[in-house]
Structure 1
Amino acid sequence: MTGGKKVIIVGGHGNVSLRLARLLAPKNAVTSIIRTIDHSKDIQEAGATPLLLSLEDASVKEFAVAFESQDIVYFSAGAGGSGGEERTKKVDYEGAMNIFYAIEAVKGSKLRLILVFAIDVRGPEKIPAYCNEADIETSKRVRAAIPAYMHWKYGADKNLVKRDAFKWTILPPGGLTNNPGTGKASAGRTHITTPISRDGVTQALALLVDKTDSFGLPIDIVGGDTPIAEGLDKAIKTIVLISNEKVGLA
């Protein structure tokens, strides 16, 4: 591999992460962080190099060392509902925070962060104007089913958006399926009721490698009918325009 990026994936054995490694590995040097050596074979078969580090136990310094000389870190880790609220906090909030601190601790040029997060992460009272009744009902149902997960994801999200020491992009997908990808989606300020395949999310994540205009933006993605590359471009332009209007720059 020559001319590509050095990419490291936190949560490397997840379904999306394995797909992402397979997609990126032919043109990039991919390292996948895993918490158990048993996952090494799957990582290698995906074309990536396994690195054993536990998001729950490793220090900020250990992650900072792993991030040295990398170009991009993908954070695609989560407790997945196992271990109760305490583990959810440990992985989805404290783990994410440790990754933020580790990126800041890297000496020299800072790598980019692309964060795979949860859609509709916000204060429960802050309902976006573009939400319809189906969105609102879906949001209520999800928050009632996994309140700790949504709470701690929101906590990490609020912390990240205040940081400017490194460049970041957030990609929150809707409900995930294992259906074959169609190459199409709806991105940006979307409704949240249409699921999206893991293949589609993976394609969007890979495309973000070269989308430097996505820095500092949250880009929701759900099932839809727009080619993913085109949808991302439109979403980025729209979100930037709305943000500029809010601060009087447009």
Structure 2
Amino acid sequence: MSVLIAIPARYASSRYPGKPLAMLSGADGTPKSLIQRSWEAAKSVNGVDQVVVATDDTRIRDEVQEFGGEVVMTSSECANGTERCAEAHVNLGGGFDIIVNLQGDAPLTPSWFVEDLVADLKSDTSADVATPVLRCDGEALNGFLDDRAHGRVGGTTAVFDASRYGLYFSKEVIPFTPDRYGDGEATPVFHHVGVYAYRPTALEQYVTWGCGPLESLEGLEQLRFLENGRRILCTEVDAKGRKFWELNNPEDVPRIESMMQAMGMC
């Protein structure tokens, strides 16, 4: 089955304008843009036929071309990354069996997260979409709770049923946990990793539905699938000791740089 990774990137983020061009320094002190680091993460995934950055912004296009990446220009009317991936697939002529949305704010995404995700979708023919979830340890959960306590929108959490189909995704910390946990202690909260694998028919339908109330309130594109009765398979992934965090706010830059330096990522 042919696999496309599309990295949707827009300049006009409400929380962090120009985020794809934010510079991040790794273990050797070399600064690279967020979009370049996301591209490098995508290129490390096995079993992928093509990787593209999907954008509507010439500044991002120029940056990608400067480091040798491939760009597909998309409309400024795309409401979110899923719509942008759908348009990118069409603009490439279609034909891919699985389209992966590797969001451009998650440069620490390990290659096996995507590989496990694609394998899960291939094996479950009843699922329209798959997305990874990572069990939080106490350190990650406390980071989420700290963000919310200070009025920041941090990572997204997910709850799912016994068959691993998503019940809900939220920028609030769900489920509620009355207890606090030690840094290395496993918790019942799952961090939703901002990657999706779609079947082409799911993308085709998605763009026809329009934004529903839950998607609008939470600002989470995957809720459009749930609001329209489509199933999202949650693939539990193993970080294998790797730290993972998304770049949601300017305050996340030093946090991610610290993680890269600790892991020796250049």
TM value normalised by structure 1: 0.35
- Bigger fraction of residues in strand: 2
Greater relative CO (CA pairs within 8 A, separation 6+): 2
| TM-score normalized with structure 2 length | 0.34
